[in-house]
């Protein structure tokens, strides 16, 4: 087992010699320094000491100032101060500035050994605590990284499930096949242009993709009816907003997205459904989605009509600013070049398998 190393600092050579001899007899490896400056130079070159014993009254840099340097530059090394001065103010100041113990000169061998033994044990425990904290931080960082990776994997698995749900709805209603992915891509582009952060983009993407999920509960006779719906059938169709909300809100990581599902048919002037929300009562994601949804609906072919151009859809959305749509969001929409939307639609439809609506947001 390696011997503990002690540095004795005193401007009086006899004191250094006596202290060094006594400590060497007790089995310690001892080095000495005649001044604080000399000691600081030694420590800078070789800081591997288990204890520093320092006098207080020294020419040049005094012991208390030396103690300040030690506590700043070598905080792991315990320090014992010794002096011929029995002054409670000096003793208190030494302890407050970081000394482990205080020893009066002249000292006896037993007294010196006892103080040194306590100080070295204190230093050993301090080093153990520092090592433990360092190892604990490393363990926490490693486990945090693993947890983050696990959460990302879990989030990906959730999104895969959501994609399957949306695709199932598209397969059920072939007239709107691909609608969920296109409208999510449009919503993402518009939300990004508004400067929303990545977490907000993820929430809005999920809400946009699942906006019509409540139609899973809509009877085929109504959902797939080729002609105009009756008033009773329309009332049932409108229930899909609340049905979708009730389905999605039960999933903890989709609670915010559920609000978009619930409000995606609301209109800025309060004439939408199911709650007749007005203005900023409508969640921001739903207000963004409303424009994207109309854009896709107008530019997509239906059995009863052919889709219009993106330029005409853009004009119609502009005309409905302040009534159906939030005028501030419409302003952002109009700042985006029209060809962006047609390029985005083409990119979405050309990729096989279809790109995930959630990745990269």
- Cα–Cα distance measured from residue 189 to residue 223, given in angstroms and rounded to the nearest whole number: 29
Judge whether 215 counts as a catalytic residue. yes
**80, 74, 21: which is closest to 48 by C-alpha?**
74
**Cis status of the peptide bond prior to 170, with omega within 30 of 0:** no
Strand pairing report for 29-33 and 51-55: unpaired
CB 20 within 8 A of CB 30: yes
Tokens encoding 58:
């020294």
**183, 181, 156: which is closest to 167 by C-alpha?**
181
Around 33, how many Cα atoms within 13 Å sit in the side-chain half-sphere?
22
CB 206 within 8 A of CB 251: no
**356, 347, 348, 354: which is closest to 160 by C-alpha?**
356
Tokens encoding 334:
């109009």
- Cα–Cα distance measured from residue 101 to residue 8, given in angstroms and rounded to the nearest whole number: 14
CA angle 92, 97, 99 (to 5 degrees): 80
Catalytically annotated residue among 215, 250, 306, 312: 215
- Cα–Cα distance measured from residue 202 to residue 223, given in angstroms and rounded to the nearest whole number: 29
Q: Which residues are catalytic?
A: 215
């Amino acid at each position: 087992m390696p011997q503990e190393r002690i540095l004795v600092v005193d401007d009086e050579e006899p004191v250094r010699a006596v202290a060094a001899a006594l400590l060497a007899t007790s089995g310690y490896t001892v080095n000495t320094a005649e001044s604080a400056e000399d000691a600081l130079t030694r420590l800078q070159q070789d800081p591997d000491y288990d204890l520093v014993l320092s006098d207080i009254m020294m020419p040049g840099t005094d012991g208390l100032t030396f103690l300040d340097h030690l506590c700043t530059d070598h905080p792991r090394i315990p320090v014992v101060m010794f002096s011929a001065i029995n002054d409670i103010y000096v003793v208190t100041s030494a302890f407050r500035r970081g000394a482990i113990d205080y020893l009066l000169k002249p000292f006896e061998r037993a007294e010196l050994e006892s103080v040194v033994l306590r100080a070295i044990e204190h230093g050993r425990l301090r080093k153990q605590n520092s090592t433990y904290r360092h190892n604990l931080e490393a363990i926490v960082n490693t486990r945090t990284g693993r947890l983050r990776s696990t959460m990302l994997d879990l989030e990906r698995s959730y999104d895969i499930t959501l994609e399957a749900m949306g695709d199932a709805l598209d397969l059920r209603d072939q007239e709107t096949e691909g609608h969920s992915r296109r409208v999510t891509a449009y919503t993402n582009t518009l939300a990004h242009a508004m400067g929303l952060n990545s977490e907000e983009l993820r929430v809005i993407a999920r809400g946009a993709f699942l906006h019509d999920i409540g139609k899973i509960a809509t009877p085929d006779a109504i959902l797939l009816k080729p002609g105009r719906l009756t008033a009773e059938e329309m009332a049932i169709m409108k229930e899909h907003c609340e049905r979708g909300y009730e389905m999605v809100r039960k999933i903890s990581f989709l609670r915010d997205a559920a609000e978009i599902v619930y409000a995606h048919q609301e209109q800025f002037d309060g004439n939408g459904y199911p709650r007749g929300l007005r203005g900023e009562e409508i969640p921001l994601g739903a207000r963004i989605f409303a424009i994207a949804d109309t854009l896709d609906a107008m530019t997509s072919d239906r059995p009863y009509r052919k889709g219009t151009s993106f330029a005409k859809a853009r004009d119609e959305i502009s005309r409905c600013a302040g009534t159906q749509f939030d005028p501030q969001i419409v302003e952002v929409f109009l700042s985006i070049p029209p060809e962006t939307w047609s390029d985005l639609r083409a990119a979405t439809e050309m990729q096989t398998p279809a790109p995930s609506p959630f990745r990269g947001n």
